[in-house]
Amino acid sequence: MVYKKIQLPFKIKRPVLALGSQAKNTVCFARNSSAYISRVHPDLSDPVDLANFQKDVKYFLNKKPKVIACDLHPEYQSTKYALQLAVRNPSLGYIQHHHAHIAACMAENGLRSQPVIGVAFDGTGLGADGRIWGAEYLVCNYRSYERAAHLKEIPLAGGERAVLEPWRLVAFWLDGKTPGIDKKKWRVLQAMRDKGINSLPASSMGRLFDAAGSLILGRREAKFEGELAIELQKLASACEPEAGNYKFKIVREKPGYIIDPRPLLKGILADIKARKPKELIARRFHVTVAEMISRMCVILRSEKGVNKVVLSGGVFQNSLLLNLSLGLLYTEGFSVFLHKELSPNDSCISLGQAIIAGL
């Protein structure tokens, strides 16, 4: 079997087998100060990928792990498989998705268990409160985390349909006050939200990119998750650096902070109405998200006394956003840590799960 070996800056107490996420899945076996990570299984809902996943799990089971680790999400195939294994295994650990992201990046950078500000931006991951997380600021080490700030939540009306029909996201962000919205469909979405029908609240940076892409590109639908974000990055990269930015709000709400992007989306609408170039609007959006990262980290540093920032999650595959964020964070004097050997997407999740469960 082909696998990637990562040297850890500490020893795992008991051998762990971590089963990763649903998409971009990897399996990780960690023992002593070494972690071994399998090939990527793109989507466990695909029978071929699931079969390869099971084959890799069986390979690592021969190394006799004492702990099985998995994601909190009960519908992930990896979590369901972990439950089957746990019948014959003495210990099962459920690990929060975004904590695993940050732990993986910490380990790749040789960090021992010390406090960091973890910025985990992706599409979706189940939170400890049963809601969808995806734009998270965690003050954490390997053993514990505090959800210190996150993006304001909106309902994902229709679940997966909200990803492929991002006009739904725009409608909720702007309370139906968007040009060309179908009033009848908007009333249906409101009824779904009010009755709690397939409308889990979500704090997701991936979905904010979808909403911005829908407005800027004039697209009501997407063919696949992340399509509009990819096009938005291409547009923004074609614009001059001095594009300016949009406003947003940071609101103190115990126990943490809420970042409200509605002023940002209203600014996009105003620029569209003023017939500003799409490239300029896309660039301003990226600059504003980078400023959300920097400003929130400055606030958390002043409160928590933590100067190390760890960036992980699929949104940071966007090289423009990453570089803009790094520039602002370095200017503020932060020490910033990125993935070195693994992708920031969900293929790093199993490593984080293994470390958290093992410690």
86 pLDDT band, cuts 50/70/90, is confident
One-letter amino acid of 260:
D
Segments making up each domain of the chain, as ranges: 4-109+342-358, 150-337
Strands annotated E in 128-200: 132-140, 145-151, 154-155
Q: Are 105 and 122 in contact (CB under 8 A)?
A: no
4-109+342-358 CATH, one of 3.20.20.70, 3.30.420.360, 3.40.640.10, 3.40.50.1860: 3.30.420.360
3 state DSSP class of 32: strand
pLDDT score for 117 = 98
What is the per-residue pLDDT across 20-34, written as a single tens digit (0 to 9) for each? 999 999 999 999 999
pLDDT score for 160 = 86
% of the chain surpassing 90 pLDDT: 92
pLDDT score for 90 = 67
Region 202-217: mean pLDDT is 97
- List the one residue out of 313, 307, 20 whose CA is nearest residue 150: 313
Q: Is the pLDDT assigned to residue 205 strictly greater than 90? A: yes
pTM, full prediction: 0.97
Rounded distance between C-alpha atoms, residue 136 and residue 74, angstroms: 21
pLDDT score for 240 = 85
243 pLDDT band, cuts 50/70/90, is confident
Rounded distance between C-alpha atoms, residue 34 and residue 101, angstroms: 18
Q: Is the pLDDT assigned to residue 16 strictly greater than 80? A: yes
Q: Is the pLDDT assigned to residue 89 strictly greater than 80? A: no
Rounded distance between C-alpha atoms, residue 113 and residue 9, angstroms: 9
Specify the higher pLDDT residue, 89 or 31.
31
pLDDT score for 2 = 80
What is the per-residue pLDDT across 43-60, written as a single tens digit (0 to 9) for each? 999 999 999 999 999 999
Q: Is the pLDDT assigned to residue 1 strictly greater than 90? A: no
Residue 39 in tokens: 């090939």
Q: Are 28 and 35 in contact (CB under 8 A)?
A: yes
What is the per-residue pLDDT across 323-352, written as a single tens digit (0 to 9) for each? 999 999 999 999 999 999 999 999 999 999
pLDDT score for 283 = 97
H or E segment at 160? helix 160-164
pLDDT score for 180 = 84
Q: Is the pLDDT assigned to residue 106 strictly greater than 90? A: yes
Region 162-190: mean pLDDT is 92
Rounded to 5°, angle at Cα 320 from 315 and 321? 45
What is the per-residue pLDDT across 290-330, written as a single tens digit (0 to 9) for each? 999 999 999 999 999 999 999 999 999 999 999 999 999 99
Q: Which CATH architecture has domain 150-337?
A: 2-Layer Sandwich (3.30)
% of the chain surpassing 70 pLDDT: 99
Place of tokens 């400023």: 291
Do 4-109+342-358 and 150-337 agree at the fold level?
yes
List C-alpha distances in Å: 38 to 103, 124, 220. Answer: 18, 23, 38
Beta strands 256-260 and 145-151 are parallel
Region 69-89: mean pLDDT is 93
